[in-house]
Structure 1
Amino acid sequence: MRKIDEEKFLYSVSEESIMKTWDNEAVEEHEFSDAYKNFREDLIRKAGENGNDKKIGTAGSEHEERRNGEAGGEIVAMPYLNRKKKWYRRPAGIAAAVAAAIILSVGAYAISGLFHIKSQEYTGDVGEYTYEFEAPEGTMVQPMRLVPNYLPDGYVYSEAGYGEFDEIKKYHKEDGSGGLTIALDNYNSSQTFSYVSSVENTEINGVKTDILTRNGDVSYNHILLMFYEDLGQIVRIYGHSDLSLEELKKIAENLDLESTDGEPYQAFTQEEEIYEAEPIMIADGRQVEIDEVMEYKSEISNVNIAWKVTDIDIRDDISELSEEYFTDYERISSLLDENGKFAPYERTEPVWEDNALVEKSAGESYPAFAYITMEITNLSDEPLTDEFVYANLVYENPETGEEEVEMAEGLGNETVYYDGSDYLDGVYNTKIYHSDFDAGETRTVHLGVLFMKERQDEAYLSFFGWTNLMDTCYVKLIP
């Protein structure tokens, strides 16, 4: 690890903590070592015997005072210990020395550890494990960057969608499988992790480390949390289940943190945000019939386009459709039997049971394919480029009226087929749902979604739910 300028760093983070505490006349409770307590008592004793002229230092410290030849042999304290003018701006003598020692206690706490774990415990009924962190008010943290010096065989940096960031590194295998994330996270005053079966407290390279193990059917079985208390940083390391715990430990053992030139900042001050989505009521959207126009208009992008569903054909056989128009034909074809028709299969759902996440049967599902014919018209007098043509498959909860999404294996709620694209790349088809339209052009296109036959009476096609420019439009799958 590149050695940081400890004097400059500790000076900046401790001075602010000391002075802020002095001004607030607040003292942070902390249990110090016997060596430090002896130093504090020695400080008070020397101040009482010799007044304010005695130099301050600790025997054998690498930050002892040193002689400055250019100053004619004057004894000069290292920067972050040179506090005489600030300590003794109030009455001199023993009382002032006692006050100095108390304030130094807070400063030393900030120096030896910029934060600590206030509490850690299970807090929920699905293996939720919560940490509460605490840092003295005014404690400043130096920005750092992650430098991983070891990666598992076959793993490469995930540049797409992330770019080069100091505080997060994402990796995957060259074929796109697997997954590894290494991240710095010291903003929230608390953090909660779900589906945690056990926690092991250990050390890696002298750094306090917790290993969170998640048993059962979980894609990421281990999370390593490294608490760099002297730097005010927390490192999270978690990898796909194809990476063993030994591999994750090896990653941690070969990880460096380097200081950056960024400005120091206060850490552990934000409240953890728990996002709970408001239920979406299908009745609150616009109910659209077959052959009814849905007009999408944006003043910002000058887009004015009309969508119209003209037919919905329910199919058990997709053999007549071209594979190139599917986003993942291999996954979809896995639901077909030897005759090329959709076959029933056993659905499962995750359940937290016996301190593990397990998959339990949710009964049989009968998949089918909805082949949707649409007319799309460019109503503007200008060409449209790269327009997004898409729909979701949702269900209406018969009791509450809420919009629901079934994420059963192989189904999901996404559109899986589109034959109107102008952007087929032949590999991943990442822009398969994008089309160009001439001015005034009307084009007939086809979308395809998978759904569960046992819920077909509750199924809807959802349009424009991804934008706030207009109400979500719902077309009933089976009119």
Structure 2
Amino acid sequence: MRKIDEEKFLYSVSEESIMKTWDNEAVEEHEFSDTYKKFREDLIRRAGENGSNKKIGMAGSEYGERRNGEAVGEIIAMPYQSQKKKWYRRPAGIAAAVAAAIVLSMGAYAISGLFKIKSQEFTGENGAYTYEFEAGDDGDGVMVQPMRLVPNYLPEGYEYLQEHFKDSDGIKKYHGSDGGGLTIALDNYFSSQTFAYISSVENTEINGIKTDILTSNGDNGSDYVVMMFYEELGQVVTILGYDGISLEEIKKVAENLVLEPTGEEAYQAFAQERETYDAEPVLIEDGRQVQVGETMEYVSDVTNKKLSFTVTDIDIRDDISGLPEEYFTDYERISSLLDENGKFASYERTEPVWENNALVEKSTDEIYPAFAYITMEITNLSDEPLTDAFVYANLVYKNSETGEEEVEMAEGLGNETVYYDGSDYLDGIYNIKLYHSDFDAGETRTVHLGVLFMKERQDEAYLSLFGWTNLMDTCYVKLIP
């Protein structure tokens, strides 16, 4: 059985003299007509509808099925080589056979790619690297066949990070026994892709697939980003390696990766534009200004909870002596801010700066921490017992120029509550239900919350309550009246 010369076959069925010369198998560059482009895309689409048993990756064979010594169908060689041989039988219909030749022909990839990289370049001061993709005659996307990721190699000791990712076609997440991490994902919905803090980009190929290796030297969650562009399938595979996994291991993962058709309905790729949303500024004056001793009511029709909260006292301290450890979210971390006398010690604050193609920590100023010990009375206003009532507060600062709410996230000085002694759910350190309490009908309870703040901004500091609920206006209690 004679093997098809796919490029000549494509030439002969295109119904158009699309090349200037054909000399010794060399093809000159040529701009195809719109008619031919539409014809080509239609063939590719039909291949996606009919070629549901095709696997793309490390497969390759020139052998086909025979019945009673006769060949069944026409066999087209897969473009990749491996020890495991796979074959592809021609679907019914000459159009599908032509489409299969286009999709599977290594030489035709440049002709039949479903998308192209319109541009790729550094686009920002912080090492931002951006890809712009183009697909379709009008740049409005292209229909592609859904694929599933089949990782045939994982580094030793790597397991699924979360159970529900095992059955996902488009994303696989793993973590290693040594602490490293790996994410493999299909991402072709958007017309652009940007990665921050990229130090270098290497253009290469893996298994004949155009591939970029991005090295990060910053805090973007990944040490390496490997981008594989399956242009003939309309797919982009992103492999993220983080927390110390080696580039050699990531390359092995990429080399052994297979894409398989799912057989599901085709979808439009590279059509969505990524949108950036600028959060609306939160003005403290837009919230309810509450004085110490003034009652705030919280009502939820969803959970049938009705409680009143009253801040009765705010005690500013320079230590946490006498407070039980079990009521702190992270006593060890907070106590590390104390000096040998048990007082909060000043420390140097740093911030990340992108400099010399790397993210480095730069000293900014000196921080003087302090602790606010808040006494609060809470009353269950309903005639029924309440369980899991959430008792919480945040610490925010008022920008002196704009009036906007600001959050200082300096080390050890996040704006979250770090202490609560009214919990009914003490299960240990980092307990996510530490801030939950149960109340009898009509019960009033006195509790204490604790937050860290910066002394140099204490006149701008406020306690923020109920802002996370979206059920009522945020209430602000000035830390120092």
TM class, shorter-length: 0.7 to 0.9
The offset of 1:265, in angstroms, is 0.7
The offset of 1:164, in angstroms, is 4.8
Secondary structure at the aligned position of 1:250 is classed as helix
Q: Contact 1:218/1:357 (CA < 8 Å) preserved in 2?
A: no
Q: Contact 2:197/2:218 (CA < 8 Å) preserved in 1?
A: no
Q: Contact 1:110/1:136 (CA < 8 Å) preserved in 2?
A: no
Question: Quick one: structure 1 residues 256 and 313, their matched pair in 2 at CA, closer, same or farther if it must change by over 3 Å?
Answer: farther
After superposition, where does 1:131-280 map in structure 2 within 5 Å?
A: 131-136=131-136, 139-159=142-162, 164-172=167-175, 179-216=181-218, 219-280=221-282
Q: Contact 1:460/1:476 (CA < 8 Å) preserved in 2?
A: yes
Secondary structure at the aligned position of 1:375 is classed as strand
The offset of 1:340, in angstroms, is 2.3
CA RMSD of aligned residues (A): 4.0
Name the aligned partner's letter for residue 324 of structure 1: E
Name the aligned partner's letter for residue 120 of structure 1: Q
Greater Cα shift, 160-169 or 426-435: 160-169
The offset of 1:194, in angstroms, is 1.8
| Identical amino acids, percent of aligned pairs | 74
- Cα distance between partner residues in 1 of 2:163 and 2:285: 39
Structure 2 gaps of 5+ residues are: 1-21, 37-60, 74-88, 98-107
Q: Contact 1:347/1:364 (CA < 8 Å) preserved in 2?
A: yes
Q: Aligned residue for 1:366?
A: 368
Q: Contact 1:304/1:378 (CA < 8 Å) preserved in 2?
A: yes
Report whether the alignment pairs 1:284 with 2:297.
no
Secondary structure at the aligned position of 2:254 is classed as helix
Q: Contact 1:63/1:78 (CA < 8 Å) preserved in 2?
A: no
Name the aligned partner's letter for residue 140 of structure 1: M
Structure 1 gaps of 5+ residues are: 1-31, 45-60, 85-107
Question: Quick one: structure 1 residues 34 and 345, their matched pair in 2 at CA, closer, same or farther if it must change by over 3 Å?
Answer: same
Aligned residues: 411
Report whether the alignment pairs 1:82 with 2:95.
yes
- Cα distance between partner residues in 2 of 1:442 and 1:333: 31
- Cα distance between partner residues in 1 of 2:156 and 2:310: 51
TM-score, with length taken from structure 2? 0.75
Secondary structure at the aligned position of 2:453 is classed as strand
Question: Quick one: structure 1 residues 431 and 193, their matched pair in 2 at CA, closer, same or farther if it must change by over 3 Å?
Answer: same
Q: Contact 2:196/2:220 (CA < 8 Å) preserved in 1?
A: no
After superposition, where does 1:440-479 map in structure 2 within 5 Å?
A: 440-479=442-481
Secondary structure at the aligned position of 1:341 is classed as coil
- Cα distance between partner residues in 1 of 2:157 and 2:426: 29
Q: Contact 2:314/2:479 (CA < 8 Å) preserved in 1?
A: yes
- Cα distance between partner residues in 2 of 1:287 and 1:161: 45
The offset of 1:131, in angstroms, is 0.8
Q: Contact 1:285/1:474 (CA < 8 Å) preserved in 2?
A: yes
- Cα distance between partner residues in 1 of 2:163 and 2:414: 24
The superposition leaves residues 175-234 of structure 1 with CA deviations (integer Å, 9 ceiling, x where unpaired) of 9x6543222211111112222222111122322221122225665332221222232222
Question: Quick one: structure 1 residues 419 and 109, their matched pair in 2 at CA, closer, same or farther if it must change by over 3 Å?
Answer: same
Q: Aligned residue for 2:415?
A: 413
Question: Quick one: structure 1 residues 238 and 440, their matched pair in 2 at CA, closer, same or farther if it must change by over 3 Å?
Answer: same
- Cα distance between partner residues in 1 of 2:125 and 2:119: 18
The offset of 1:461, in angstroms, is 1.0
Report whether the alignment pairs 1:308 with 2:310.
yes
Q: Contact 2:373/2:451 (CA < 8 Å) preserved in 1?
A: yes
Greater Cα shift, 317-326 or 390-399: 317-326
- Cα distance between partner residues in 1 of 2:144 and 2:195: 24
